[in-house]
A and B are shown apart, each in its own frame.
Chain A
Amino acid sequence: DQQVKQNSPSLSVQEGRISILNCDYTNSMFDYFLWYKKYPAEGPTFLISISSIKDKNEDGRFTVFLNKSAKHLSLHIVPSQPGDSAVYFCAASGSRGRSKLTFGKGITLSVRP
């Protein structure tokens, strides 16, 4: 039973345009959400997070939006750059971020020059 779903396995966008990566979750106990980025042959690295008490968190070109009623979050990258090409994992946890993470399958983003 997949509790964190990233239903689109891949996304391709033009450099300079917006990338929107989607994530859905089913567990109502999740209250903290994170995005990790992974390059080939490297481990994932933390990108951005959001608590359930917020509906938006922004860090430079990266913004995460949370819609609790829809159990949906999205990562926006504006403008997209070729260096953003990577696998992006959505992850969720409960207990205000202090329980173990549940990851989605990941989305492969390709940014075309």
Chain B
Amino acid sequence: DAGITQSPRHKVTETGTPVTLRCHQTENHRYMYWYRQDPGHGLRLIHYSYGVKDTDKGEVSDGYSVSRSKTEDFLLTLESATSSQTSVYFCAISKDRTNEKLFFGSGTQLSVL
């Protein structure tokens, strides 16, 4: 497995609270991505990063922010969690922009009550 660690693996939180999910990689890959997986929607891109302090929005970025201060860490923050953000969140990394070399972490199951 590619060296990708997501933390926490599971989290339950209340509506309105801030939540930060962490993705840590040991591969020194330049590109990092956050996806969410929901029944009936597949995988949808939230935010991505092409390098330190270089981030951009994906297709479902509302309510989320990201930061990348180091190559190895990509943080996803839910500023004020809502029930619609209950989902499984996956971090992915790639060495270059060739998409077949996209490696995913094991995911974080987030429940917002």
Using a CB–CB distance below 8 Å, which chain A residues touch chain B? 4, 6, 32, 34, 41-46, 49, 89, 91, 93, 97-98, 100-101, 103-106
Q: A101 to B43: give the CA distance in the assembly, Å.
A: 9
The answer to whether A103 touches B104 (Cβ under 8 A) is no
The answer to whether B40 touches A105 (Cβ under 8 A) is yes
The answer to whether B43 touches A89 (Cβ under 8 A) is yes
Partner of B99, one of A89, A101, A104: A101
Tell whether B45 is near chain A: CB-to-CB under 8 Å: yes
The answer to whether A41 touches B42 (Cβ under 8 A) is no
The answer to whether A46 touches B43 (Cβ under 8 A) is no
Interface of B is mostly: mixed
Closest A residue to B38 using CB positions: A105
**Residues of the A chain whose Cβ atoms lie less than 8 Å from the Cβ of B102:** 46, 101
The answer to whether A103 touches B44 (Cβ under 8 A) is yes
Using a CB–CB distance below 8 Å, which chain B residues touch chain A? 4, 40-45, 48, 58, 90, 92, 97-107
Known: A43-B90, A43-B92. A105 touches B106 (CB 8 A): no
Closest A residue to B43 using CB positions: A103
**Residues of the A chain whose Cβ atoms lie less than 8 Å from the Cβ of B43:** 44, 89, 91, 101, 103
Q: How far is the CB of B56 from chain A (nearest CB, A)?
A: 9
Closest B residue to A98 using CB positions: B97
Indicate the member of A4, A49, A100 with the most B CB atoms within 10 Å: A100
The answer to whether A104 touches B98 (Cβ under 8 A) is no
Partner of B98, one of A4, A41, A89, A98: A98
Q: A112 to B12: give the CA distance in the assembly, Å.
A: 35
The answer to whether B100 touches A46 (Cβ under 8 A) is yes
Q: A33 to B101: give the CA distance in the assembly, Å.
A: 13
